[in-house]
Amino acid sequence: MTTDVQRLTIRNLGPIVEADVEFGDLTVLVGPQATGKSIFLQMLKLVVDTPSIRKELSNFSIDWNDDLPAFLQAYLGEGMDSIISEDSMLAVDGHARRLTAFARKQPGEEKAEQLFYIPAQRVLSMRDGMTRSFAEYRFGDPFCLREFSHKLHVLVQSEFIRGEFFPQSNRLKETLRNLVAERIYGDLKLVKDTTGYEKRIVLETGGGRSLPFLVWSAGQREFTPLLLGFYWLLPPTRTSTRQSLRWAVIEEPEMGLHPAAISATMALVLELLARGYKVCLTTHSPHVLDMVWALRFLQENGGTLEDVKSLFSLSGPGANLIAEPALEKVYRTYYFPREGLAQDISSLDPGDERSEVSGWGGLTGFSEHVAEVVSKVARRAERVA
């Protein structure tokens, strides 16, 4: 399978009754918890990276004997073999694929990884500020978490000899560094503590005092493995992407973050798009969809480079290189409801008669409900007065 996947269709797999997704440059999946968004994207990873996944599992002596349920437990996690049924179906660009084929090893198969997956459980990739290798997890822990954690471990051990992770002038453009500093780390530095036997990542104050992982803010703990994931995707070289990678999946980039910090994170996503990655996100944040809706609005209403820069607070060196491609990208959004039938809501039209479109997959519904209740009470108070 290649990076040329344009459309993935899944039927009757876990909570997914049917999801027929045509990918844009940025594809966003929304919906309540446990509606199949992560399963869908993990299956995309499996479609794109089957050989490298099987090889990685084999390298760590994980053997599933070509058995699909055992393979799904090794890949998706313990107990996840229960999501398949006789009616389960997967198709790539309209061509059906037998699920059992994913579990069958092919002698001598070699194919480099093409999709980098940043899971929602990314905070588990760091234990007291120390990254974890693939082997530190147990069988039945999700492959995408184990692989992500291992990549960060390699990154920290091999590419940061001097031990300063942020700010790093050769990792992010100045405009992005400024946003991350202002909205997430403040005046603190992210560094490798080399004073003890075990090397750990700490925040360092201007006076050189180390702040260990557990005293960081929740947002800093969530964002740091995400930042390292961006570092993996954005190598400090003249090449735009790392090796063979062409896709990036990021689950819930907003976790633990203030809206201003979410905007900074979405600016980092724009950098991925500018470098040619196809990006898929899951989100429970209306703020993320605010920005996606705004980008589509700019495209359809003569928005300019300066408008994109203003929207994302981009300024200074590198801002134009990030903002300009954003006006040419394709943005798609899909809603995964409890009923299991995913819906294309890419227009994000607030005036659409369908509530799933106008309410952005339910993300604005709670705010509207609050406003209705408050208005009702206000009217009642006026009548009493």
Is residue 2, in this structure, part of any structural domain at all? no
> Same domain, yes or no, for 221 and 234?
yes
Q: Does residue 170 have a pLDDT over 60?
A: yes
Is residue 1, in this structure, part of any structural domain at all? no
Which residue type is seen at 217? S
Provide the pLDDT confidence category of residue 240 given band limits of 50, 70 and 90: confident
Is residue 215, in this structure, part of any structural domain at all? yes
Distance (Å, whole) CA 314 – CA 70: 47
DSSP 185-226: ITT-EEEEE-SSSS-EEEEE-TTS-EE-GGGS-HHHHHHHHH
| Full domain range(s) for residue 185 | 7-348
Distance (Å, whole) CA 167 – CA 188: 9
Instruction: Give me the mean pLDDT over the 50-73 stretch.
Output: 92
Which residue type is seen at 142? P
Is residue 141, in this structure, part of any structural domain at all? yes
Query: Which pLDDT score, from 0 to 100, does residue 236 have?
Result: 82
In tens, the pLDDT along 295-336 reads 999 999 999 999 999 999 999 989 999 999 999 999 999 999
Q: 3-class DSSP state for residue 132?
A: coil
CB 304 within 8 A of CB 297: no
Distance (Å, whole) CA 106 – CA 306: 51
φ, ψ dihedrals at 100, nearest 5°: -65, -25
Of 89, 38, 46, 40, the closest CA to residue 71 belongs to 46
Query: Which pLDDT score, from 0 to 100, does residue 374 have?
Result: 55
CB atoms < 10 A from the CB of 240, how many? 14
Instruction: Give me the mean pLDDT over the 352-365 stretch.
Output: 78
Provide the pLDDT confidence category of residue 375 given band limits of 50, 70 and 90: low
- DSSP lists the bridge partners of residue 95 as 92
Is residue 275, in this structure, part of any structural domain at all? yes
- DSSP lists the bridge partners of residue 97 as 90
Is residue 31, in this structure, part of any structural domain at all? yes
CB 112 within 8 A of CB 52: yes
> Same domain, yes or no, for 255 and 379?
no
> Same domain, yes or no, for 188 and 59?
yes
Is residue 202, in this structure, part of any structural domain at all? yes
> Same domain, yes or no, for 219 and 357?
no
> Same domain, yes or no, for 247 and 378?
no
> Same domain, yes or no, for 344 and 358?
no
Paired tokens of 104? 């069958």
Query: Which pLDDT score, from 0 to 100, does residue 160 have?
Result: 75
Query: Which pLDDT score, from 0 to 100, does residue 368 have?
Result: 56
Query: Which pLDDT score, from 0 to 100, does residue 290 have?
Result: 93
Which residue type is seen at 356? E
> Same domain, yes or no, for 109 and 255?
yes
> Same domain, yes or no, for 343 and 376?
no
Residue 30 belongs to domain with CATH number: 3.40.50
Q: Does residue 276 have a pLDDT over 60?
A: yes
> Same domain, yes or no, for 258 and 384?
no
Is residue 22, in this structure, part of any structural domain at all? yes
Q: 3-class DSSP state for residue 41?
A: helix
Distance (Å, whole) CA 317 – CA 176: 10
Q: Does residue 1 have a pLDDT over 50?
A: no
Beta strands 95-97 and 16-22: pairing type?
A: unpaired
Return left, alpha or beta for 109; rule: phi > 0 is left, psi -120 to 50 is alpha, else beta: beta
Query: Which pLDDT score, from 0 to 100, does residue 279 have?
Result: 98
Total structural domains within the chain = 2
DSSP 108-129: T------EEEE-TTGGGGEETT
φ, ψ dihedrals at 205, nearest 5°: -80, 170
- DSSP lists the bridge partners of residue 19 as 10
> Same domain, yes or no, for 274 and 297?
yes
In tens, the pLDDT along 201-211 reads 999 998 889 99
In tens, the pLDDT along 285-299 reads 999 999 999 999 999
> Same domain, yes or no, for 326 and 369?
no
Name the E strands within the chain: 7-13, 16-22, 26-30, 89-92, 95-97, 115-118, 126-127, 130-131, 164-166, 189-193, 200-204, 210-211, 247-251, 278-283, 331-335, 343-344
Query: Which pLDDT score, from 0 to 100, does residue 373 have?
Result: 55
> Same domain, yes or no, for 305 and 378?
no
Structure pTM?
Answer: 0.92
Provide the pLDDT confidence category of residue 109 given band limits of 50, 70 and 90: confident
